[in-house]
Structure 1
Amino acid sequence: MHILLIEDNPNTAKLMELELLDAGYQVTVAYDGLVGLAVAQTLGPDLVLLDWQLPSLTGPEICQSLRQAGYQEPVIFVTARSDSEDLAIGRQVGANDYIVKPFGSEVLLSCIEQQRCAA
């Protein structure tokens, strides 16, 4: 399974990438919203992990663009934004799930596995 991680914090991205690689996933990391969107459209990953606040484009803008372009694979927001309005926006733009930072690796891996089983 190929996962695209779009996360602008290099430390967070590296930790998540290592956890995902250790779990056996193939991972591509993008640190910028515009780059992340281009990578998603080019590579067509099996799942996108998406931060909310990114340079160039926000997570919701990326998710909405992907959905409008016909991308049907799971998109999971991974963000510190935790109020119900943000959760509602995430769902409105087409996210499948929402993980609030900070979180443990078991939460991340469980969420990914749930999306794999639902597909």
Structure 2
Amino acid sequence: MNAKEGIKILLVDDEPHILQFLEMGLTGEGYEVKTALDGLMAINVAKEFEPHIAILDVMMPGMDGFEVCKMIRKSGAQTSIIMLTAKDEVEDRVKGLTIGADDYVIKPFSFEELLARIRARLRNQFPNLFNEVTYGPFKLDDRRKEFTYNGRILELSPTEYELLKFLVMNHGIVMSKAIILDRVWGYDFLGEENIVEVYIRSLRDKLGDKQHQVIRTIRGSGYRVDFS
């Protein structure tokens, strides 16, 4: 089947113009979308709709996004939850992840970034929905934990695999060391940021990326995967 056919996304935000923009964009991408303007409506829609992905705004009057997240998790639904927050604070991210959120996006965000987050959540939580997926010169088979680059199978450690997968799925987006550590190693990782450099160097060696044209270093910002 089409990779997006039958994939259901619930959007929850108290700002109608944001809901309309995201609904149009995601529907145009081929997803089945339902919306809710508040937390109570979101809970009711989620019960009937059974979405694969729920995108929840944190700051809503009455029942906020954190409470909706807890209610969805309490219901036992297999929904993957992405939180939208206007606050770039560690406490908010930790709280969301602690109560059961799977990812978060900080406002303002680009639509392409949200799409990348959605794709990553679907690949991680619902791999049975997909066959082998192609990203430029990369082919990813998450069920077999196998990466192919330009027709060549890469011999990767589990951490190298997860790091390359994160970067490739978010291709074109600059990822800081802090975000990479958070997403790949986990927010409770207590080691040094330099571990990212070590793994990036190893990936470049295995890709034959001597000129750093595949995994680019964006000075002062982080790393970005580009497809030629």
Amino acid at match of 1:47: I
Shift of 1:21: 1.0
4+ residue runs of structure 1 moved beyond 6 angstroms? none
Counterparts of 1:100-115 in structure 2 under 5 Å? 100-115=106-121
CA distance in 2, matches of 1:3, 1:69: 17
Q: 1:32 aligns with which of 33, 38, 44?
A: 38
Q: 2:13 aligns with which of 4, 7, 11?
A: 7
What's 1:68 paired with? 74
Shift of 1:41: 1.6
The 8 Å contact of residues 52 and 81 in structure 1, kept in 2 or not, is answered as no
What's 1:48 paired with? 54
Measured against aligned partners, the alpha-carbon deviations of 1:7-64 in whole angstroms (never above 9, x if no partner) come to 1101111111111111111110100111111111222111100000123311000101
Shift of 1:87: 0.3
Amino acid at match of 1:27: V
- Identity among equivalent positions (%) equals 36
- Counterpart check, 1:88 vs 2:64: no
Amino acid at match of 2:88: S
Determine which structure has more spread, i.e. the larger CA radius of gyration.
2
Query: SS in structure 2 opposite 1:75?
Result: strand
CA distance in 2, matches of 1:36, 1:30: 5
Q: Which has the higher contact order (CA 8 A, sep 6+)?
A: 1
**Cα RMSD after superposing both structures:** 0.9
TM-score by length of 1: 0.95
Amino acid at match of 2:99: V
Amino acid at match of 1:9: E
Q: 88-97 or 47-56, which moves further after superposition? A: 47-56
What's 2:25 paired with? 19
CA distance in 2, matches of 1:109, 1:89: 23
The 8 Å contact of residues 74 and 95 in structure 1, kept in 2 or not, is answered as yes
Amino acid at match of 1:77: M
CA distance in 2, matches of 1:81, 1:70: 28
CA distance in 1, matches of 2:54, 2:69: 9
TM-score by length of 2: 0.51
CA distance in 1, matches of 2:87, 2:55: 15
Q: Which runs of 5+ in 2 are unaligned?
A: 1-6, 126-228
What's 2:179 paired with? none
- Counterpart check, 1:98 vs 2:104: yes
Q: Which runs of 5+ in 1 are unaligned?
A: none
The 8 Å contact of residues 48 and 75 in structure 1, kept in 2 or not, is answered as yes
CA distance in 2, matches of 1:19, 1:74: 19
Amino acid at match of 1:3: I
CA distance in 1, matches of 2:51, 2:59: 21
